[in-house]
């Protein structure tokens, strides 16, 4: 029986994780669930899974949540409030696995703490890895933690690696990664119409049902940019070894090209329960609840080159990882601010890459060798991006 802590339990990945847990209650026990503000979903999850701990980050929602529990069957559950509690539950002595599924930089400290504590880290929160790069990977190596990628592409790549492969090490005989992308909702939209894109259009992904932030990232293809950086770190590769491939059917979730010319691909229906179940059962396999792939209904698989003119965010991500140092942290922070501003309808869709590019231009690639440097760069980049946005709105 393994004990799991789910950070970001109320989000898209958190909900899918609990769906997989439910199918394997003989193998997994939920110790802790965390939410930011969504206490109604958290409450229902706690009633069903009876964790020892629930964390609510938002103070007001935390107080409401505590009041809601009085007189219920889960009244004696420990409720912790505030962001420090994320680290507390991610490092509990009796937790084996931590699902890191908070969105954005807010997930960094808890994911890093789980890595430092030697947990089995199921990593969905790509932003934390992009931000902290070498520090995160070093923490995994130093503590002997096991890092299993949840991002569907990275999980696919991991599955195409030799069985003995561990994340962060050289992939023997692998010469290239083919990182697939659906192309998002605007793959064929005329470029001169992208200035009119609405929030509703941007969050409506053609293939995957996801949180709002990652849906916008998929529309700009910053998601693929973050994933390219993630792949460099997880599989110890240079940016030039990673080829982005647009594959609109989203059946192949990525490929590994070996020196002998063999290309291994992982396929499946586009449902995050597949990579989640893979990581939870690893090194075995178990049922994910996903229907078998009907290969005849696929009919056709297309592959296209990613157009960096249409998707400047992908170009910016390549520039950031190539420059190295704090630049991926700056890219991620400026992107989070720009996406927030777009979702609040303060800037246009096409302003997102502009905000990021103008913010990045103010930084040089100084070393990102301590957590303090990283957090400082993150903060400065957020302020810089806000300043660019104020200029746009004025
Ligand atoms: P989501 O918006 O649906 O859920 C986010 C979760 O994080 C929620 O539980 C929320 O309560 C929590 N959260 C938000 N802000 C927080 C804060 N400040 N402090 C603490 N908790 C906070 O997001 P999602 O789609 O589930 O994505 C989660 C992560 O997984 C992201 O990093 C995303 O890139 C990655 N990911 C998601 C998918 C997907 O299909 N949804 C696929 C691959 C990777
Ligand atoms: Mg992905």
345 vs 154, 339, 342, 348, 357, CA distance in Å?
32, 10, 5, 7, 20
Q: Could you give the domains of the chain?
A: 2-149 (3.40.50.720), 324-394 (1.10.1740.10)
Which segment of 37-46, 54-63, 185-194, 207-216 scores lowest on mean pLDDT?
Answer: 207-216
Phi, psi of 30 (to 5 degrees): -85, 120
Q: Give yes or no for residue 55 CB within 6 A of ligand 1.
A: no
CA of 13 to the centre of ligand 1 (A): 7
273 CB near ligand 1 (under 6 Å): no
Tell me how far apart the alpha carbons of residues 229 and 207 are, in angstroms, rounded to a whole number: 22
Residue 157 confidence (pLDDT) above 90 = yes
* CA–centroid distance, residue 297 to ligand 1 (Å): 31
- 234 Cβ inside 6 Å of ligand 1: no
- Give the dihedral sign, CA 161/165/169/174: negative
Ligand 1 atom 18: residue of nearest CA: 106
Helix, coil or strand: residue 294: coil
pLDDT reported for residue 205: 81
High-pLDDT (> 70) share of the chain, %: 100
Residue nearest to atom 21 of ligand 1 (CA): 36
CA of residue 193 to ligand 2 center, whole Å: 26
Rounded-to-integer distance, Cα 342 and Cα 331, Å: 16
pLDDT at 260: 98
pLDDT of 172 higher than 90 = no
* Residue bearing the CA closest to ligand 1, atom 27: 103
CA distance 151 to 1: 25
DSSP-derived pairing of the beta strands 78-81 and 53-56: parallel
Q: Which residues pair with 49 in a beta bridge?
A: none
Query: Rounded to the nearest whole angstrom, what is the distance from the C-alpha of residue 266 to the centroid of ligand 2?
Result: 13
What confidence category does residue 20 fall into, taking pLDDT thresholds of 50, 70 and 90? very high
With H, G, I as helix, E, B as strand and everything else as coil, classify residue 67.
Answer: helix
What is the CA angle 146-279-144, rounded to 5? Answer: 5
Q: Is the pLDDT of residue 207 over 90?
A: no
Q: In this predicted model, what pLDDT tens digit does every residue of 92-142 receive, in sequence order? A: 999 999 999 999 999 999 999 999 999 999 999 999 999 999 999 999 999
> Is the torsion defined by CA of 255, 256, 259, 263 positive or negative?
negative
* Ligand nearest to the CA of residue 244, numbered in listed order: 2
Length of the chain counted residue by residue: 394
Tokens representing 41? 């979903």
Q: Three-state DSSP class for 359? A: helix
Q: Quick: pLDDT tens for 272-304.
A: 999 999 999 999 999 999 999 999 999 999 999
Is the beta carbon of 359 within 6 A of some atom in ligand 1? no
Q: pLDDT class for 162, splitting at 50, 70, 90?
A: very high
Instruction: Give the residue carrying structure tokens 């939410």.
Output: 35
The pLDDT, as a whole number, for residue 370 is: 96
Residue 340 has pLDDT above 90, yes or no: yes
> Which two structure tokens, joined as six digits, stand for 25?
């209650």
Beta bridge partners of 6: 33, 99
Give the tens place of pLDDT for each residue, 223-273.
999 999 999 999 999 999 999 999 999 999 999 999 999 999 999 999 999
**Residue 206 reports pLDDT greater than 90:** no
Does the C-beta of 127 come closer than 6 Å to ligand 1?
A: yes
In this predicted structure, what is the pLDDT of residue 115?
Answer: 98
Please state, rounded to an integer, the average pLDDT across all residues of the chain: 97
* Closest residue CA from atom 42 of ligand 1: 151
CA of 227 to the centre of ligand 2 (A): 7
- Taking the C-alpha atoms of residue 75 and residue 81, their distance in angstroms, rounded to an integer, is 16
* Residue 11 CB less than 6 A away from ligand 1: yes
What's the pLDDT score for residue 60? Answer: 98
Distance CA 326, CA 320 (A): 8
Beta carbon of 125 within 6 Å of any ligand 1 atom: yes
Does residue 126 have its Cβ closer than 6 Å to ligand 1? yes
């Amino acid at each position: 029986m393994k004990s799991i802590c789910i950070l970001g339990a109320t989000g898209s990945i958190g909900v899918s994780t609990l769906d997989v847990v439910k199918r394997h209650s003989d193998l997994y026990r939920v110790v802790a669930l965390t939410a930011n503000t969504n206490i109604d979903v958290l409450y229902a999850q706690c009633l069903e899974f009876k964790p020892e701990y629930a964390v609510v980050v938002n103070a007001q929602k935390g107080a409401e949540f505590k009041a809601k529990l009085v007189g219920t069957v889960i009244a004696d559950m420990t409720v912790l409030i505030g962001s420090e509690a994320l680290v507390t539950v991610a490092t509990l002595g009796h937790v084996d696995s931590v699902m890191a599924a908070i969105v954005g930089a807010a997930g960094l400290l808890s994911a890093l703490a789980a890595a430092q504590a030697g947990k089995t880290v199921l990593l969905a929160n790509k932003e934390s890895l992009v931000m902290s790069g070498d520090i995160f990977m070093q923490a995994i190596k130093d503590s002997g933690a096991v890092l299993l990628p949840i991002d569907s592409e990275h999980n696919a790549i991991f599955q195409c690696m030799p069985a003995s492969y561990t994340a962060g090490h050289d992939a023997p005989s692998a010469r290239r990664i083919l990182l697939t992308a659906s192309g998002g909702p605007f793959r064929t939209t005329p470029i001169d119409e992208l200035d009119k894109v609405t929030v509703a259009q941007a969050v409506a992904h053609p293939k995957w049902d996801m949180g709002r932030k990652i849906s916008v990232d998929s529309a700009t293809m910053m998601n693929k940019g973050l994933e390219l950086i993630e792949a460099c770190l997880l599989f110890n590769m240079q940016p030039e070894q990673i080829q982005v491939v647009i594959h609109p059917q989203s059946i192949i979730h990525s490929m590994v090209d070996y020196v002998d010319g063999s290309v291994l691909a992982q396929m499946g229906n586009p449902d995050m329960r597949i990579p989640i179940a893979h990581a939870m059962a690893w090194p075995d396999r178990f049922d994910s609840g996903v229907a078998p792939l009907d290969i005849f209904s696929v009919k056709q698989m297309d592959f296209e080159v990613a157009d960096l003119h249409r998707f400047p965010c992908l170009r910016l991500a390549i520039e950031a990882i190539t420059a190295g140092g704090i630049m991926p942290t700056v890219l991620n922070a400026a992107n989070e601010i720009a996406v927030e501003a777009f979702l609040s309808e303060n800037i246009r869709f096409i302003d997102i890459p502009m905000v990021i590019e103008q913010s990045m231009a103010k930084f040089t690639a100084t070393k990102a060798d301590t957590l303090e440097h990283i957090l400082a760069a993150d903060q400065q980049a957020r302020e810089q991006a806000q300043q660019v946005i104020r200029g746009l709105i004025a």
